[in-house]
Structure 1
Amino acid sequence: MTNPPVAASTDDSEKLSLSTKLAYGAGDAGSGITVTILTFSLMVFFTNVAGLDPRTAGNILAIGKVWDAINDPIVGVMSDRTQSRWGRRRPWMIFGAIPFGLFFFLQWLVPQFTSDPAANKVWLFWYYVLVSILFNTAFTAVNLPYTALTPELTKDYNERTSLNSFRFAFSIGGSILSLLLGLVIFNIVTDPIQEYVVLGAVCAILSVFPIYWCVWGTRERYTVDAEPSLPILEQIKIVLSNRPFLYVIGIYLCSWLAFQLTATILPYFVVNRMEMGSYFPIALAVQGVAIVMLFVWSAVSKRQGKRTVYFLGMSLWIIAQGGLFFLQPGQTLLLYVLAAMAGVGVATAYLVPWSMLPDVIELDELRTGQRREGIFYAFLVFLQKISLFLALFIVGQALGQAGFVEATPGQSPPPQPESAIEAIRWMIGPIPTVVLILGLVLAYFYPITREVHAEILLKLRQRREAQTPSEG
């Protein structure tokens, strides 16, 4: 008689209370709030409120993303080595939460350093670069140790899955809440600068408190030794030798580059092309539908497979993305329809590449006999930041080349020349569409089908059974 799998049941000593799970999940609410607002709003804030040239604005955001990629491994190593009466992870959250909220808020101020407009723009550039670096450092100091808490709260497979479900719920809730707040605040406050100051302040406060809820509502029960870090060239060799992972990289990069391009240019498209007062309702339509469809696609994936889900979702997204190019001012209802269709596809960008990753890791285990999740996950997270960097750089450079007219601080955005409007249309329509089609082609050739994956799991199970001594 064999023992049941570890994942089949949960020992009573491993079960976590509802209060612990709620506290843990709350730790990601701040990330959901801040990342959503920054993704949709910071670029347009720089050009339409702070009065920066779009190329300058894009460079500020790109510098922040480059630093974000650099500080991740630094904080990760320091977090692993931390020793305190609060454990290894929670001290970072305790001392990082306030700077996290403060530097998020400071990004939405437009300080006046000098009366000379040209000189003031130079000062503003360095101010926002500094604040961006400090915010990304504080974000990593809070979020990376938070994500590392899961294995230190429980060793049980089911309980870890449950913890991440709570985390997912709070992150989604924070994302929706931030867009609703933007919609409400922008309807109440009329001053262009004060709109973002109020939104930044409210979101900063709402982002900090859940972090302390997580800190005081959880207790680290285990110490998980970090795996020895391989040299970077060895990591690259491992990644490049796994052909299915290269497809996952391409699919993920195409999906997220298209999403980040759309999210960055969407405010300009809604305000300058469609002549609507606020872009928050459209952003809410995209994200709201995407979140609902995550659960729908997850269920479909179990029956039809990941590639089928990706093809269905991407097809709708491609139609919607291409359709945006042809929209005329006043076609508001059609804009909402296309936004909802895009949201159906965006859900697959969240779901499919991440769900493909465990398949790739299991194939690597079958070939090498080792589990190396850290290397593969690290590369995918790095690619997410690269896609954001590329999107911000492309949008900033394209708007600048097209003659986009930045606003004077404190005044309403000026009318844009036809060349800038055309650039906006191309960046929300044909360019993301081409990128999505490329991702679709890569998904077609992705080699791990449902049948191949079942065979991988069977071989792994047979190997483990052969390595496990039989019981009398």
Structure 2
Amino acid sequence: MSINDDAVDEFPQINPENPQLDLKTKLAYGAGDFGPAITGNISIFFLLVFFTNVAGIPAGLAGSILMIGKIWDAINDPIIGMLSDRTKSRRWGRRLPWMFYGAIPFGIIFFLQWIIPPFTANQSNNIWPLFWYYVVIGLLSQVIYTVVSLPYTAMTPELTQDYDERTNLNSFRFAFSISGSILSLVLAKIIFSIIGDRQQQYLVLAAVSAVIAVLALYICIFGVRDRILAFEAKRNQIAQPASLPFFQQLKIVFSNRPFLFVIGIYLFSWLGVQVTATTLPYFVVNCMGLTDADVPTVIIAVQGTALIMLFFWSALSKKIGKKVVYFLGMISWIIAAGGLFFLQPSQLVLMYVMAVMAGVGVSTAYLIPWSLIPDVIDLDEYNTGQRREGIFYGFMVLLQKLGLALGIFLVGNALQSAGFQATTAGQPLPIQPESALFAIRLSVGPLPTIFLILGLFLTYFYPITREMHAEIMMKLKARRENSGV
């Protein structure tokens, strides 16, 4: 894919071989995940609640809406990843054009997801038109999210090739990501307390979040541009092998054994995150007897702890390794999940203790899998002579969205099977049957625990160590020197 634009006179005088990134670049890169984190976090915690308690869609149908979008995502994520690998632009490089032109449509589509079109006056006849409206918006949303987020994530190995610096860079990324998540919850708490109408609450929240998301993406684009173009200039000096057909690239990607471990670790980690996040608002209101306004406070306890722990885990990983850090975080989270299952309405202090313990583990679910994937890409370059960040990150983004959709699908259908009662805006929340309450407890405790244990099993056998990565980078450097670059 070639982008026609005005050529710049020369590339920035930055040494892309220098593994150390300046603070400005790290902050700008982190800002790229700030906006999508705000919009994504609102979707994670409130979209199913919005569908069932505001739009009046039954829980099973609501849980199916995003799952339908993931069928399309299975196609568009790797394709956009491959296209971003092939993009050519002197002004923007391979990744930034996608973000530059996709940022504004990203904000618009997100806002449209929170509108309730009045197709008919009869609410019971409005369910299926609303279902298909949200399916269409969901399909568009997944494509445009991929357009901005996949090229963004694929920039990590292009910004630095150092094993530990990548972990540090990802700590900045997820510090901004979690900060965006916390800001979304603060905004939700403020807006929910000011505006009484539930439908208007979500419209205002969506509008404010969309504007912030678009601005943050442009801060990232212009902040990392010099470093990315310097990397591109260096990469273009090396003779690149002919690009392989799409399905042959897929075959090579999935023959990369460490990559299979990484996607398994990430899928199970993210399923644990999404199932917990989707269930938590129901748990706080229906099992703990609190109100909608209390939900953001509980979630902030989780996300705030995760934010604080990010840099601690990043520093500790340099001493004890990424795998050990992941184990420590997951164990804390598993203990918290077990505690939430047995928690009673009178144990509010203990609920916040469990939220903090879960946050300790959530931070490693963010940090470690994304720190492993650049090392896998280096191994692929060593084996094939090509850098295919886009297609590798395409599958990571696919798994991120699959985790979100599958989490909502599982929770939504579990609630409907258990007799959960949906409602519409303006109506009081119904009293849920004991079977629905038990399903909520299962979804916040034992179900994510199963996913986390499976992730731990794969992490134990993950093969790339710091020593192995150092050897790969040494051989790549020797190959480049032999090619005269």
**Aligned pair in 2 of structure 1 residues 8, 207: CA closer, same or farther (>3 Å)?**
closer
2:187 maps to what in 1? 181
CA deviation after TM superposition for structure 1 residue 280, in Å = 0.9
Contact 2:154 2:393 in 1 (8 A): no
Instruction: Tell me, yes or no, if structure 1 residue 37 matches structure 2 residue 53.
Output: no
Instruction: Tell me, yes or no, if structure 1 residue 436 matches structure 2 residue 448.
Output: no
1:348 and 1:257 mapped to 2: Cα distance? 14
1:274 maps to what in 2? 288
**Aligned pair in 2 of structure 1 residues 230, 283: CA closer, same or farther (>3 Å)?**
farther
**Residue 255 of structure 1, aligned match among 269, 273, 279:** 269
* Aligned counterparts, 1:138-217, within 5 A: 138-146=144-152, 168-214=174-220
**Residue 385 of structure 1, aligned match among 392, 395, 401:** 401
Farther-moved stretch of structure 1 (96-105 vs 42-51): 96-105
1:339 maps to what in 2? 355
CA deviation after TM superposition for structure 1 residue 313, in Å = 1.1
1:396-450 per-residue CA deviation (whole Å, 9 max, x = no partner) reads 21111111110123323211111111111111111111221222222233344x5
The RMSD of aligned alpha carbons is 3.6
TM-score normalised according to structure 2 size: 0.81
CA deviation after TM superposition for structure 1 residue 378, in Å = 3.1
1:91 and 1:254 mapped to 2: Cα distance? 32
CA deviation after TM superposition for structure 1 residue 244, in Å = 3.4
1:134 maps to what in 2? 140
**Aligned pair in 2 of structure 1 residues 218, 389: CA closer, same or farther (>3 Å)?**
closer
Instruction: Tell me, yes or no, if structure 1 residue 66 matches structure 2 residue 71.
Output: yes
* Aligned counterparts, 1:313-332, within 5 A: 313-332=329-348
Contact 1:65 1:388 in 2 (8 A): no
1:148 and 1:455 mapped to 2: Cα distance? 22
CA deviation after TM superposition for structure 1 residue 336, in Å = 0.7
Contact 2:77 2:395 in 1 (8 A): no
CA deviation after TM superposition for structure 1 residue 290, in Å = 1.0
Report how many residues are paired.
Answer: 457
CA deviation after TM superposition for structure 1 residue 182, in Å = 1.1
**Residue 60 of structure 2, aligned match among 36, 41, 55:** 55
Could you tell me which amino acid in structure 2 is paired with residue 351 of structure 1?
A: L
Instruction: Tell me, yes or no, if structure 1 residue 356 matches structure 2 residue 356.
Output: no
**Aligned pair in 2 of structure 1 residues 237, 104: CA closer, same or farther (>3 Å)?**
closer
Segments of 5+ residues of structure 2 without an aligned counterpart are 1-14
**Residue 457 of structure 1, aligned match among 458, 465, 470:** 470
**Aligned pair in 2 of structure 1 residues 174, 415: CA closer, same or farther (>3 Å)?**
same
2:331 and 2:242 mapped to 1: Cα distance? 42
Could you tell me which amino acid in structure 2 is paired with residue 454 of structure 1?
A: E
1:339-398 per-residue CA deviation (whole Å, 9 max, x = no partner) reads 110110111111222223344445555666665544443333322222223212211211
1:282 and 1:322 mapped to 2: Cα distance? 17
1:97 maps to what in 2? 103
2:29 and 2:45 mapped to 1: Cα distance? 26
Farther-moved stretch of structure 1 (188-197 vs 43-52): 188-197
**Aligned pair in 2 of structure 1 residues 407, 259: CA closer, same or farther (>3 Å)?**
same
1:360 and 1:424 mapped to 2: Cα distance? 37
1:223-243 per-residue CA deviation (whole Å, 9 max, x = no partner) reads 576986544543444344343
Farther-moved stretch of structure 1 (386-395 vs 237-246): 237-246
Contact 1:362 1:457 in 2 (8 A): no
1:148 and 1:94 mapped to 2: Cα distance? 15
CA deviation after TM superposition for structure 1 residue 28, in Å = 3.5
2:430 and 2:273 mapped to 1: Cα distance? 27
2:454 and 2:92 mapped to 1: Cα distance? 48
2:6 maps to what in 1? none
Farther-moved stretch of structure 1 (126-135 vs 93-102): 93-102
1:230-266 per-residue CA deviation (whole Å, 9 max, x = no partner) reads 4454344434434333332322221111111111111
Instruction: Tell me, yes or no, if structure 1 residue 420 matches structure 2 residue 436.
Output: yes
SS at match of 2:133: helix
**Aligned pair in 2 of structure 1 residues 271, 172: CA closer, same or farther (>3 Å)?**
same
Could you tell me which amino acid in structure 2 is paired with residue 245 of structure 1?
A: F
Could you tell me which amino acid in structure 1 is paired with residue 470 of structure 2?
A: L
- Percent identical pairs in the alignment equals 56
